[in-house]
Every structure is written in structure tokens, then in C-alpha cells.
Amino acid sequence: MYGVSGDLARRLVLPAFFELARRDLLPEHWRLVGEVRGDALDLVEHVRDALEEFGPRPGDGPFEEFAARLLSAGGGMSEESAGDLPEVLKQARDALAAEGAEDAQLVHYLAIPPTAFLDYTKALDAHGLAEGSRVVYEKPYGTSLATFEELETEVKRVFSEDQVYRIDHFLAFEAMQNVLHARLANPWLAGIWNREHVAQVQVDVAETLDVAQRAEFYDATGAFLDMIVTHLFQMAATVALQPPADLAPETVQAARDAALQRFRPLDPAEVVLGQFEGYLDIESVPGDSTTDTLAAVRLWIDDDRWRDVPFLLRSGKKMAADEQRVTLVLRGASEGPYAEGAELPSEPAAVSFSLLEGGAIDVRLVVRTPGVEGGTSLTTATAPLDGLDSGRAALPYVHLIEHVLTGNRSLFTGVEGLRAAWTAVQEFSENRPPVQGYAPGTWGPAAVDELAAPGAWFLR
């Protein structure tokens, strides 16, 4: 694991490894080598501190057994020098061979800033560490079509495609996986998954937090690059994909990539960028910054299933609530007594997938109001996912690391899909609309609501 001392590793990746150990889902024989630029750190104490802060706590699992398999390498990694890594990798291989695992699979996990991906890819090749290995790239995989192509050219030179795992952790949420699995397993749900029954598809990732802890990084990135063209595009494609013939990892990934390739190029007129009031007062944010802390887009998909159905994507900071949802807003009755003109609730029926905590599926229905007077009302049936048949929900990185170790690429982004995503936003990138201010604790500028007209956002 490169960058093992970084924030990403501490908060998400190392806790996920320990959670896999708690669930007895790691291979029988393994070693984790943590690489850093400076002197080798005390990896056992580093992991212990990370678990104490972010959980699961060391006492809640087999920590001593886990810690005995941790190794540390210092000296950094570049084309010129691999530091201590070759020697430490030899130690790891020798230890595994002594346990009877002579042909251990080498996995490179790049938990490093995306700006370093290119250099590390070249370094892995220069030191003979690429052949036969697997490599995990965090997001974003590029920051534009040009930088994506530059990185992909080098990755393709060094690795074959089946060696490469490009992470988008939103694909691994329990509820996000059920966007595909619940749809395919329930004919009634599959039957409404089209333009005849769906008026809008909405993908919302909203946070009440500001960016004070990572303002310098955030100001150089913004909500659109950080969330829309990465996570929310992939989530939209998961909704939009054509039903795959089977659930083999390569089939699922290909179906999602094909959906991304049907995205219409993003029209800058259908993008709203916002900046919450007070953002410019945050330390390390320039007083004239035009960085977007909120982005909302209206996206179109050109195929027979979704033509003329708007996909509304929205993500931002300092918003009205902490929510992560994928929602299919359903059309009203087209005939019969409840057709257009009937007295109905102001909000339509919907099927909504909540990604928070263990995940849940909400089905919102229009029903008759109880009582003599009658009328219509809305009611929501919620199906929590955590605990079903005694199954415990797992955090996204637990799923992702397990999939890397077992060679399952279904929850990882494909290169053609990523290329299509960067192509779809190229015109927008060259003609960005100005940011609009919005009050903290709201759902963004008024123009965001206009994107959903004549309908409305499920979250408002």
C-alpha cells in the first residue's frame, strides 16, 4: 500500500482491511507492506491508532494476529529508486513461502494523490514490479479528457486491462449494488425501469459539512470534478445500464461502460454551479475563488429505454441535510380515474435507494386517505438492508478490497466508461457557467430547482 500514512489509508483503507480480518475474509496467507516516502514507520502502531480513531477498534477483532503480518518500507518510490521496498517485498515473499504460499499474488494499492499516479506507474515498471501483479488506482482517474488519456496511455503500456482496478467507492455501497440486483431479481421493478414509467432519475449526494479540513485540496478541485464526473456519473450509469445477460464481473462492468457511452455531451446551460456563503472566509481559500462547492446537472441518455428522461445529478457542501440517494420518480396514471386532472398529492410516487448507513429501499405510493372523506395521500414503505437474513452490511472499501483480492472487477470502473465520462463533460469544461451563491443549510441556488422543472427534486 503506497501512501499508507495518508488520510485516505487511515480513514478508509486500513480499517477495511481489519474489518475483512474480523469477518475472516482475508486469504489464509498474506502480508501487508506499507510504503512511505520517508523513514519506514511503525506500521503496527500506525494501524492501531487508525483503528482507535475510525474503527473497528483493535479489541473488537484479532488485532495481534493481524499486526504480525504488517511490514513497513521507507525511502519512497520513483523510477530512480524503490527505497526499501524490494528488500521488504522479498521478506514478505519468503515468509509466505515458508507458510506454503510460494506463488503469492502481488497487489499494488495506490492510496496516493492522483497527481502521483503517472509517476508511480512508471516506477512500478522501472523496478520490475508490474508483471503478474494487480494495481488499484483511487479516483479521480484523470482530471480532464487530456489528463485521462495521458495516464491511460502509460497504464496500458505497463499493465494489461485485467490487472487494473479503478476505484469508485460509491459503486460499492450496499444500496447502490441493489440498484442493479433488486431491479433484476424483481420483475415488477424491472418492468417499470424505463421511460414509460419513470419521469425523472435523480442522484443526490449532499453534505451539511463545509470543507475546512481539506480546503486547499477542495479549492483546486470543486464539487463538479470531485463528485459529478466521477461518482455521480457512475451511479447514473448503474441506473441506466441495459440488463446484463449474467452477473459475471466483466459483463456488469461492460454494461455500465456502455451506458456511459450513451450519455449525451453535457450542455453548459444545463449545469448549475454554486458556492456557499462564507466559503471565501475559510483559511487557505483565496478571497477571489470561483470554486464550486455545489454542482447540479441535467443529463440525457440517448437510447430507447431512457430517451427524454432527465437524469438530475446534484452534490454539494453545507446543504440542508446529509443524504445519499438514487431515486426513480414515477409518472402518474395515464388513464382511468387517477389520470391527469385527478386530485392527487403534490408529490409523485417514487422508488428511492438510500445509501446511508446500512442502506435502505424506500417505495413511495399514492393511496386512498383513510376515513369517510377519502381523497389521496402519500405513504412510504421502507426496507432496511442491514440485518436481512442475518447479513451484516459492509462499508464500501470492505467490498472493494475483497473484490481486488478475489479478482472480481464488477464494482470497478472500466476504461471506456471513464473515457466516455470525460468526453461528455469536455464542452462544459471549456464553457463553465459562473458560480452562484447559496445560503448554508439550503438545497442550493434557485436555478437548481429550475433544472427539475416541471417536476421537483425528491429531496427539497
Calculate ∠ Cα 311-243-149, nearest 5°: 65
Reply yes or no on whether 231 is catalytic: yes
197 is in an annotated binding site: no
Calculate ∠ Cα 125-171-235, nearest 5°: 115
Range list of H helices, 171-307: 174-185, 187-191, 215-219, 222-223, 233-240, 249-261
Which amino acid is it at 295?
Answer: A
Secondary structure E strands in 4-106: 32-35, 70-73
139 is in an annotated binding site: yes
Between CA 330 and CA 153 the distance in angstroms is 42
Between CA 193 and CA 44 the distance in angstroms is 49
Between CA 296 and CA 272 the distance in angstroms is 5
Between CA 20 and CA 135 the distance in angstroms is 19
- The whole-angstrom distance between residue 256's C-alpha and the CA centroid of its chain comes to 14
Catalytic residue among 46, 108, 127, 231: 231
403 is in an annotated binding site: no
Closest among 271, 284, 285, 263 to 224, alpha carbons compared: 271
Query: SS3 for 251?
Result: helix
Alpha carbons within 13 A on the beta-carbon side of 339: 4
207 is in an annotated binding site: yes
Omega before 345 cis (within 30°)?
no
- The whole-angstrom distance between residue 340's C-alpha and the CA centroid of its chain comes to 38
Cell 477483532, residue located = 61
**DSSP per-residue string spanning 380-433:** EEEEE-TTGGGPPP--HHHHHHHHHHHT--TTEE-HHHHHHHHHHTHHHHHSPP
Which amino acid is it at 56?
Answer: P
Say which DSSP state 65 is in: H
- The whole-angstrom distance between residue 173's C-alpha and the CA centroid of its chain comes to 8
Where is 77: in which H helix or E strand?
none
Which amino acid is it at 238?
Answer: T
Between CA 169 and CA 399 the distance in angstroms is 9
Between CA 367 and CA 380 the distance in angstroms is 10
Between CA 334 and CA 234 the distance in angstroms is 31
53 is in an annotated binding site: no
Closest among 293, 278, 161 to 220, alpha carbons compared: 293
Q: Which residues participate in catalysis according to the annotation?
A: 231
Annotated binding site for substrate: 169, 207, 226, 317
Annotated binding site for NADP(+): 37, 139
Annotated binding site: 37, 139, 169, 207, 226, 317
